[in-house]
Amino acid sequence: MLTGALPPTITLRIPPVSRSAKISLSPRIRKSPFFEATERAGALAYTVYNKTYMPIGYGDPEAEFWKIVRDVTLWDVAGQRVVEIAGPDAFTFTDRMTPRDLSKCQVGQCKYVLITNPDGGILNDPVLLRLAEDRFWLSRADGDILSWAQGLAVNSGLDVDIREPQTATLQLQGPKSAAVAEALFGPEVAAMRYYDFIETSLCGAPVLLARTGWSAERGYEIYLRDTTRGVEVWDAVMAAGAPHGIVPAAPSRIRRIEGAILDFSVDMDEGTNPFEIGLERLVDLDGGRDFIGKAALQQVARDGITRRLVGVELDGTPVAYNEQPWPVRADGQMAGQVTSCVYSLRLERNIGYAMLRLDAADLGHELQVETPDGARPAKVVEMPFVDPRKALARA
């Protein structure tokens, strides 16, 4: 069990999620290049993400949370399987896949993008990396964007090669991650800007090092390009992090909700458009460029939305992370559902997101949330809940 120091004022434990059946191992599901190392490190359970086993915890989730926000942690996120788009028409093709204008994305930069369908619905929200003028990576959320992209290419008339490259990702997250990255890759990493990446090596293996992550803390993603070296690279990162108190951890539900990081297929899906989740900044409707879903999103921009994802705060004792959406009532009527909810150790209250009708989505609006333990009073609040300007991640 991890032994992160908890503040003396925090004495409540996060209630466990409900008991469920175990997942059996199968050749149909990939083991990551780091799987052996995560087993050795004491991973207690796994989920399946992009048909890959991904650890969801090594011990006390509260202790892991405090290590992420105070020290440094290492995550196996090889389930973020990458789609590569390369060839003479790679820019044109990739630019058509997303509402975000990629013309300002330089080689060596990352961009958070949305992939939309013809109805303007969100199919995925990957981090895009531009490796060359004619080569892009999409580090994807849980969803088969590889097949989507390959299908789009068939009759596109564009010269592109779309495949999954040999790569696997680790996340190094927490305020001390900068010191660990410098020990591993040299002092030049200190000059890296938020959402930039460099090509370098670790243990003699080629890697991409990106100033990105899913924690809203200072962090890096290490894209290992020789997947035969997974355990060796894991051990090297752990050894470099030992003086800084590094521990293996899993993506933190608490920290991502505090930081207003959305989870694809939980807080958004193909039935959700960018305007409903407050990501209209990623939609370029003013320029002459075309993209899949543009006409539908232009219609949404003209007509407006009828619902919106908002921050919510629930009264009462700590809740367990919701395993399914929770119904929400406002003014005695059904108003929507809570998509994500968790007890924040730092804020000492229950926080989350809810997709609500517009008439129930104003700040301060009082709600009733139907939890497994019964109805709870709640209200609409601002989000992000912590560090709204992302000063920690950008530091």
Q: How do residues 218-276 score in pLDDT, each as one tens digit?
A: 999 999 999 999 999 999 999 999 999 999 999 999 999 999 999 999 999 999 999 99
DSSP annotation of 196 reads B
What domain range includes position 102?
82-163
In a domain, residue 282? The reply is: no
Mean pLDDT score of the chain: 94
Same structural domain for residues 176 and 48? yes
Q: Report which residue type is found at 115.
A: I
Average pLDDT rounded to a whole number, residues 128-149: 98
Same structural domain for residues 86 and 131? yes
In a domain, residue 29? The reply is: no
268-297 core/surface letters (b: 16 or more CB in 10 A; e: else): bebebbbbbbebbebbbeeeeeebbbbebb
In a domain, residue 274? The reply is: no
Contact 363, 383 (CB under 8 A): no
In a domain, residue 2? The reply is: no
Same structural domain for residues 63 and 170? yes
Same structural domain for residues 203 and 60? yes
Distance CA 180, CA 166 (A): 25
Same structural domain for residues 73 and 86? no
C-alpha triplet 289, 82, 199: angle, nearest 5°: 90
Whether 71 shows a pLDDT value over 50: the answer reads yes
Contact 134, 87 (CB under 8 A): yes
Q: How do residues 377-394 score in pLDDT, each as one tens digit?
A: 999 999 999 999 999 999
Distance CA 56, CA 45 (A): 6
Same structural domain for residues 59 and 94? no
CATH of the domain at 347: 2.40.30.110
Return the structure tokens found at 262: 């959305």
In a domain, residue 252? The reply is: yes
In a domain, residue 389? The reply is: yes
Q: How many CB atoms lie within 10 A of CB 231?
A: 15
Domain count, the chain: 3
CA distances from 130 to 104, 217, 283, 291, 346 (A): 11, 23, 19, 18, 36
Crossing angle of helices 145-154 and 90-97, in 10° steps, is 120
Instruction: Name the domain boundary from 257, 289, 316.
Output: 257
CATH of the domain at 187: 3.30.1360.120
CATH of the domain at 112: 3.30.70.1400
Same structural domain for residues 175 and 62? yes
Q: Which of the four pLDDT bands, split at 50, 70 and 90, describes residue 324? A: very high
